[in-house]
A and B are shown apart, each in its own frame.
Chain A
Amino acid sequence: MNKMSEIKFEARVKATGLRPKPDDLAMLEAMVRELDRAASMLRGPRSYAEEPLNAFRLKPA
């Protein structure tokens, strides 16, 4: 991404409608990186065709 068009974290938060204290921003930004890391673990070349659709409909043992 062009440096000029990068969205600053503060603006990204502001766009959500939240109004954190300026002191909270650094911690929040650090935690977003951790969230992104968790999300990256779920991105993968998985086929929808092979995906179980109803696995969470639990049945008795």
Chain B
Amino acid sequence: MQPFLTIAEAGALIAAKKLSPVELTRLCLDRIEKLDGQLHSFLMVTEDRALADAKASEARMMSAALKGPLDGIPIGHKDIYNTAGIRTTGHSRLLEHNVPTEDSVVGQKWAAAGTVLMGKLATHEFAIGGPSFDLPWPPARNPWNTDHFTAGSSSGTGASVAAGLVLGGTGSDTGGSIRGPSALCGIAGIKPTYGLSSRRGVLPLSQTLDHTGPMAWTVQDCALLLQAMAGHDPLDPASANRPVPNFSADLGKDAKGLRIGVVRHFHEVDNPVSPATLKGIEDALDIFRAQGAVISDVTLSPMMDYNAPGWLILTAEAYAVHEPWLKERFNDYGELLRDRLALGALLSATEYVQALRRRRVLCLETRDAMADLDILITASAPAEAPKIHEVPKWAMLEKPNFTMPFNLTGLPALSVCTGYGAGGLPVSMQIVGKPFAEATVFRAGHAYEMATEWRGKRPAMSTALTG
């Protein structure tokens, strides 16, 4: 068996009866045992469950009854996704002993697709506020260099996918929590259109900004995972009631004819990115141009104009979620989270309303700016991952983040690895689409990955295991 398989590769081998799901699962369990003591990407490894899932998949394989391309694929769930009978903590002392009775909707869908549940993955506490060192579990570490940050909040998913401990996993994204760790860990991750995939059974943070989505090694794998999680959920008030298209339909097409808008001022002026990040974006644009894409610059409002209402809405809505616990158990939260959420108590209703008003204007502005474009491109993160002990506590306004604009507007946004910086850590770009146009976003991301060599390189700690 190749040491590192993508979901698409493993699925094809399983379908051809050339790969045993049990063997694949044991490989991942072995890697977890050897590496996760350094990575802390798992809060809980569900070994018995994983082997049972893998054996069931293998039985289906032998009887030609596979459920699809995810059957037998080892995955993990961010520990804000409820798992029936399996502890779900939000990486918080407040839920240290919480055992849900039902799976999240996404968990149910992935299980129905035949995935193998390897365990629960680290997050920032309640999907906000990290890295924290005062919680019952340590923060996840970056597999490219364990002295460095993973970003968050889907930190365990980013680390475990990059290191090859799982082939894919769930993330959630309220201000960038899928795309941030995807960027810093050098994998692919998509925040789908708002409402495309259910949030039911996932611990909430901010009801008008929360999204669920997949993270994996490649764009193609994200498309396969999203296929199995998208769809209307009448019990999620944000859920979109519309047919789910084939997200892989345009994979294999190059970028010919794509109309690409580069939000250059985001990454060159509003928050200037590192030289390696900028080079990655420019090189990607050269590739798209050579394939026949039509590229132009596009101007939106300054990135700070998106971040200010985004952070105010997030703070107000997150406080509303946590207020009862904050009043009863304030000091059971980690320091980062309690300070961050306490701000919500001091925010007036007027500020929240003004933020919502500004949001509407920015949604329209972005829609109009994309009228003659298929995708936007900018950075996902400003630079390579910083050292984990040098991450500033909060920097809401000093440097606006690249991801919040697309939570605010609800547009699908994908982070793709564009190479490695001077320290060997990944850099990335963000590809943004129109509402429900994930297939176009995947097409561009996959065309880029196929034209580059970055998916052939894994963290040294993982490759060292393979000899």
Indicate if A3 sits at the interface (CB-CB under 8 A): no
Interface SS of chain A: loop
**CA–CA, A52 and B305, complex, Å:** 17
Please choose the segment from B31-39, B160-168, B306-314 that sits at the chain A interface, where 4 or more of its residues have CB less than 8 A away: B306-314
| From A37, A52, A61, contact of B436 by CB (8 A) | A61
| From B339, B393, B394, B436, contact of A58 by CB (8 A) | B436
Chain A residues in 8 Å Cβ range of B393: 27
Closest to B410 in A: A58
Taking a contact as CB atoms under 8 Å apart, the answer to whether B360 and A52 are in contact is yes
Q: How many A-B residue pairs have CB under 8 A?
A: 110
Taking a contact as CB atoms under 8 Å apart, the answer to whether B342 and A35 are in contact is no
Chain B residues in 8 Å Cβ range of A12: 346
Taking a contact as CB atoms under 8 Å apart, the answer to whether A52 and B361 are in contact is yes
Taking a contact as CB atoms under 8 Å apart, the answer to whether A43 and B354 are in contact is yes
Chain A residues in 8 Å Cβ range of B347: 35, 39
Q: How many A residues touch B, CB cutoff 8 Å?
A: 31
Indicate if B345 sits at the interface (CB-CB under 8 A): yes
Taking a contact as CB atoms under 8 Å apart, the answer to whether A38 and B397 are in contact is yes
Chain A residues in 8 Å Cβ range of B193: 58
Indicate if A55 sits at the interface (CB-CB under 8 A): yes
Interface SS of chain B: helix
Closest to B437 in A: A61
Taking a contact as CB atoms under 8 Å apart, the answer to whether A56 and B342 are in contact is no
Q: How many B residues touch A, CB cutoff 8 Å?
A: 48
CB distance from A51 to the nearest CB of B (A): 6
Chain B residues in 8 Å Cβ range of A17: 327, 345
Chain A 28-61 interface residues, beta-carbon cutoff 8 Å to B: 28, 31-32, 34-35, 37-39, 41-43, 46, 51-53, 55-56, 58-61
Indicate if B351 sits at the interface (CB-CB under 8 A): yes
**CA–CA, A61 and B245, complex, Å:** 13
Taking a contact as CB atoms under 8 Å apart, the answer to whether A46 and B357 are in contact is yes
Task: Encode contact with A along B319-349: 1 for CB under 8 Å, 0 otherwise.
Answer: 0000000110011000100111011011100
**CA–CA, A33 and B202, complex, Å:** 32
CB distance from A61 to the nearest CB of B (A): 4
Taking a contact as CB atoms under 8 Å apart, the answer to whether A31 and B338 are in contact is no
Indicate if B195 sits at the interface (CB-CB under 8 A): yes
Closest to B370 in A: A61
Taking a contact as CB atoms under 8 Å apart, the answer to whether B312 and A31 are in contact is no
CB distance from B202 to the nearest CB of A (A): 20
Chain A residues in 8 Å Cβ range of B340: 31
**CA–CA, A35 and B304, complex, Å:** 13
CB distance from A5 to the nearest CB of B (A): 19
Indicate if B264 sits at the interface (CB-CB under 8 A): no
**CA–CA, A42 and B31, complex, Å:** 49
| From B307, B360, B394, B434, contact of A31 by CB (8 A) | B394
Chain A residues in 8 Å Cβ range of B440: 61
CB distance from B459 to the nearest CB of A (A): 35
A13-B342, A18-B342, A28-B339 given; A60·B436 CB < 8 A:
yes
Indicate if B240 sits at the interface (CB-CB under 8 A): yes
Chain A residues in 8 Å Cβ range of B394: 31, 34
14 contacts between A and B (CB under 8 A): A12-B346, A13-B342, A17-B327, A18-B326, A27-B393, A31-B343, A32-B346, A35-B315, A38-B312, A38-B396, A42-B351, A51-B360, A61-B433, A61-B437
Apart from A16-B345, A31-B394, A55-B364, what are 9 other A-B pairs with CB-CB below 8 Å?
A35-B343, A38-B308, A38-B311, A51-B357, A53-B360, A58-B194, A58-B436, A60-B242, A61-B433
Q: Which residues of B contact A (CB under 8 A)?
A: 193-195, 240, 242, 304-305, 307-309, 311-312, 315, 326-327, 330-331, 335, 338-340, 342-343, 345-347, 351, 354-355, 357-361, 363-364, 367, 393-394, 396-397, 410, 433-437, 440
Q: Which residues of A contact B (CB under 8 A)?
A: 12-13, 16-21, 24, 27-28, 31-32, 34-35, 37-39, 41-43, 46, 51-53, 55-56, 58-61
